[in-house]
Amino acid sequence: MGELTLKGLNRSSFEKRLMHDVARRLGPGFVLESKQSTLYVDAVPGTQPDWGTATDACQKVFGIVSVCRSARCGKDIQAIRHTAAAYCETRLRRARTFKVEAKRADKRFPMTSPQIMEDVGAYLLETFPYLTVDVRHPDETVWVEIREDAAFVHLAALPGAAGLPSGTAGRAMLLLSGGIDSPVAGFLCARRGLALTAVHFYSYPYTSPEAKDKVLRLAETLAGYAGPMTVHCLPFTEIQETLRRRCPDGYVTILSRRMMMRAAEKIAWREGCGALVTGESLAQVASQTLPSMAVTDAVCRLPVLRPLVGLDKEEIIQRARKIGTYETSILPYEDCCTVFTPKHPKTRPTPHQTEAAERCLPIETLLMRCIQGSEKIEIPYL
């Protein structure tokens, strides 16, 4: 369970949330038990679950550091030997070198970890005589764990999503565009225990219905990790047309961002969110310079989280590929952020200049119409 083991008196609440998330993700047919910083998942007696699908699902649950399918046996060295040979046979027949690792969580077991490793290793060499031992770079590692109630045999563990269980750190409002950055930002915040609600701005007819569908697909991918989320789709056309008509051209981008933040914050208060999350990376584009971020944040009372602020584009792309959002993000449908981009956007706006540029705007009226025209879409835990 990774850093959950570092929690103090509130550790049980984190573990309960983790078990709830795993149970919801797996569905019926499984029995869960938490012991010794390990979550055990077993099948309901008499059922035949799809363990491959179950393993994939557990890998996406925040709070789980690693996942491994294992064979349970009695805490008897004879049973452990036979279980290791039978359970690992398929992989060992394809290997040429191996080693055995042992962990003795139950110190009452009469053999030490090195003795278990030596004994089981000797038995596997006898059973598979073509194998040789390589303790540095083996083709396969056979793990033996002695726990309170039983012994377990497994091969290499698969990486989990790690982090903290969803919702244990509160809730945040993600400004979700159709680009590469914002889904990654949402993933990183969700990984730290934040439940997500999202807001998306679209500018029909300048943006197509496919652009909105793309965002919903990104939200579905995030929901596979972070759990169910609500996406508020807000019409932004009137605001952008008003900005272009009334405001200095160089300020259109930064004023658009300020209006987005105002609208997102209003919905965030209503939804019980404690922060806003954006996919901004410092100095990546004109609206992401330090002065631009400062004048954007000035219209918000909620904190603005920018988990990508120190990452370059290639690092963000690598993370997007890893979580499965990249291929959707690069689909060729424009979002509202790119439709009205001026040729020479202001990169170093001051608060005084920015406020002067938007004095001609009926800000509250525009925000009210934008929010009243919003569409609320529920994304399930996929």
Sequence spans of domains, the chain: 2-68, 71-156, 170-379
Quick one: pLDDT at residue 381? Answer: 72
Quick one: pLDDT at residue 29? Answer: 86
Task: For residues 261-289, give the mean pLDDT.
Answer: 93
CA separation for the pair 132, 99 (Å, rounded): 9
Peptide bond into 362 cis (omega under 30): no
pLDDT band at residue 49 under the 50/70/90 scheme: confident
Quick one: pLDDT at residue 163? Answer: 93
Quick one: pLDDT at residue 339? Answer: 60
Quick one: pLDDT at residue 151? Answer: 95
Please count the other Cβ atoms lying within 10 Å of the Cβ belonging to residue 84.
Answer: 25
Task: For residues 314-326, give the mean pLDDT.
Answer: 96
User: Above 90 in pLDDT, residue 332?
Assistant: no
User: Above 70 in pLDDT, residue 335?
Assistant: no
Look over the chain and give the mean of its residue pLDDT values, rounded to a whole number: 91
Task: For residues 82-88, give the mean pLDDT.
Answer: 97
Of the candidate ranges 34-48, 221-235, 290-304, 365-379, the one whose mean pLDDT is the lowest = 34-48
Domain boundaries 71-156, corresponding CATH code: 3.30.2130.30
Task: For residues 295-314, give the mean pLDDT.
Answer: 95
User: Above 90 in pLDDT, residue 380?
Assistant: no
pLDDT band at residue 6 under the 50/70/90 scheme: low
* Residue among 187, 161, 152, 153 nearest 172 (CA): 187
- pLDDT tens digits for range 339-378: 667 677 888 889 999 999 999 999 999 999 999 999 999 9
CA separation for the pair 145, 148 (Å, rounded): 10
Model pTM score: 0.88
- pLDDT tens digits for range 153-184: 999 999 999 999 999 999 999 999 989 999 99
- Six-digit token pair at 88? 């690992």
- Six-digit token pair at 265? 């914050």
* Residue among 34, 12, 36, 16 nearest 24 (CA): 16
Pick 223 or 334 by higher pLDDT: 223
At a CB cut-off of 8 Å and minimum separation 6, what does 379 contact? 216, 219, 220, 222, 223, 228, 229, 230, 231
Quick one: pLDDT at residue 340? Answer: 63
pLDDT band at residue 337 under the 50/70/90 scheme: low
- pLDDT tens digits for range 132-149: 999 999 999 999 999 988
User: Above 70 in pLDDT, residue 280?
Assistant: yes
User: Above 70 in pLDDT, residue 291?
Assistant: yes
Quick one: pLDDT at residue 97? Answer: 97
Quick one: pLDDT at residue 344? Answer: 76
Of the candidate ranges 11-25, 115-129, 254-268, the one whose mean pLDDT is the lowest = 11-25
**CATH number for domain 170-379, candidates 3.40.50.720, 3.40.50.620, 2.60.120.20, 1.10.260.40:** 3.40.50.620
Task: For residues 41-65, give the mean pLDDT.
Answer: 90
Task: For residues 303-318, give the mean pLDDT.
Answer: 96
Quick one: pLDDT at residue 1? Answer: 59
Task: For residues 30-45, give the mean pLDDT.
Answer: 86
- pLDDT tens digits for range 206-244: 888 898 999 999 999 999 999 999 999 999 999 999 999
